[in-house]
Structure formats: C-alpha cells, structure tokens
Amino acid sequence: MAYTKSAIKNIRKTASQTARNQRIKTRLKTLNKKVAAVAASGDKDAVKAAAISFVSALDKAVKTKIIHRNAACRLKSSCAKYIFV
C-alpha cells in the first residue's frame, strides 16, 4: 500500500484520469454505433452529421492521447465508407 504523499496523490490522479478516459471511450463507441445505425436508415444528411461528430470526437481523443492515432485513422476510414456509398 502506498504511504508517501506523492504515491497517494498519484493513486487519486490515476483513478480520476481513468474515469475520464473511460467516459470518452464509451462516448466514442456510442457515436460509432450511431453512425452505423443512421447509415442503415439511409438518410444521407443525418449520416454526414453523425460522421462529422464522430470524427471530431476521434480527433479530440487522439489529441489527448486517449486512443492511438492509427486506431482513429482506422475508425475514420470505416466511417467514410458510410458517407461515400
């Protein structure tokens, strides 16, 4: 068990950062499912709007290093297939 002040603070920081990162990752998964669901409905404008919000969220997650850059690129390209079909 941690007993120094810095170790105790690091445990607190890690817990809050993990919770924040998990919220962002969950939001990314939800936005990805939303793009797929809207694409199944066939509404082009709604698909584009959902894709824009998903790509924006991906870019923000990459900027804060929550997900890897290549993973975001892979998700963006799979999202693009819904727009250009």
Residue 39 CA to chain centroid, in angstroms?
19
**Mean pLDDT score across all residues of the chain:** 94
Domain boundaries, the chain: 5-83
Q: Under CATH, which architecture does the 5-83 domain have?
A: Up-down Bundle (1.20)
Alpha-carbon distance 1 to 10, whole Å?
A: 12
pLDDT at 85: 64
| Helix (H) or strand (E) run with residue 70 in it | helix 69-83
Report the candidate in 13, 14, 21, 10 with the shortest Cα–Cα distance to residue 62.
Answer: 21
Which residue do the tokens 């804060």 mark?
64
What does the pLDDT look like over 7-25, one tens digit per residue?
Answer: 999 999 999 999 999 999 9
